[in-house]
Amino acid sequence: MSSKNKKNQIMDRRAEQQAARFFGKHVSRQKAYLLAAVTTAACAAPMALGLRLWRAIPELVETGLILATGEDDSLPRYIVVFGLPGLMCVLNLICHGQLLYNQNRLTVPKTPVRLLGRWGFPVLSVIFCSGMMLHAAGEPFSLPFITPCVLALALLMLGAHMWDCPRSAKLALRFSFTQRDGDWQAVHRFAGWVWMAAGLAVIAVVMTGAAPELAAAGLALLAGAAPFAYGAARAAAAGK
C-alpha cells in the first residue's frame, strides 16, 4: 500500500472519530451508567400511574389501530400498565448500551440511536404511556398532568448536564462561589445530583397523584435553590 493511501486512510479514520465524538453524545463511563439508571427509572414510572388507575382501566384497551382482518388491535390491561413501560425500559437500556459501544469503538451510532439518544425513551414513556393509561381510564390528559411531567424531564436533563459541566459550557452556574479551585466541580456535581433526584421525585409525585401541581412546584423551587445554598455554605466555610 502506498504512503499516499495510508495517509488517506489515517485522515479518513480521524474524520470518522471526530464525527463519532460530535454525533455519538460521548460521556464518561460513570455518567453513562448513571444516566442509564436514571432514565430507566423514568421509563418505569408510568407503571405507578397504571396501578393507581388499575380499576378504571378496562381489561381490554382499544388502541385505535385496525388489523388487516378489520378488528381493533386491543391490548390487555396488564400490557398497557406494565408491558409498554417495560418495553421502554428495555429499549432505553439497549440504546444506552449501543451509544456506549459506539463510543468505545469511536464509531458513529446509527441514525435511530442518535435521534433517540439518552432521553428519547423516557420522554416517550412519561408522556405517551401515561397518556394512553389516562385515556383508557377516562381521565383527562390535561395541562395539570403534562406540565409537571415536562418540568420533571427538564430537571433530569438539566441535572445530567450540570453533573459534569465543564467551565467552557454556555449553560452553567457562574457565581463567585464556583470560581475557586475545586468549587466549580463540587457545586455543579451537587446541582446535578439534586436536580436529577428532584426530577424523578416530581415524576413519582405526578404518577401517584399526590397533589402534582403543588408538589412539583415546591420540589422544583427547593431543587433550584439547593445548589446556591450549598455553594454559599462552602464559600462561608472556606472564608473562616
- pLDDT the model gives residue 64: 67
Q: Which amino acid is at 204?
A: A
- pLDDT the model gives residue 193: 95
Structural domain count of the chain? 2
C-alpha cell at 160: 445530567
Residues 102 and 125 in one domain: yes
- pLDDT the model gives residue 211: 65
Which residues span the domain enclosing 218? 142-240
Residues 157 and 230 in one domain: yes
- pLDDT the model gives residue 207: 93
pTM of the model: 0.84
- pLDDT the model gives residue 219: 80
Residue 151, domain member (yes or no): yes
Boundary-marking domain end, from 106, 139, 172: 139
- pLDDT the model gives residue 2: 55
Boundary-marking domain end, from 139, 162, 184: 139
Comparing C-alpha atoms, which of 59, 53, 76, 212 is closest to residue 135? Answer: 53
- pLDDT the model gives residue 153: 94
Boundary-marking domain end, from 104, 122, 139: 139
- pLDDT the model gives residue 11: 47
Per the CB < 8 A criterion, the answer to whether 57 and 131 are in contact is: no
CA distance 32 to 108: 17
* Residues in a beta bridge with 76: 60
Residues 152 and 128 in one domain: no
Residue 10, domain member (yes or no): no
- pLDDT the model gives residue 236: 82
* Residues in the chain with pLDDT values less than 50: 7-13, 15-17, 19-24, 240
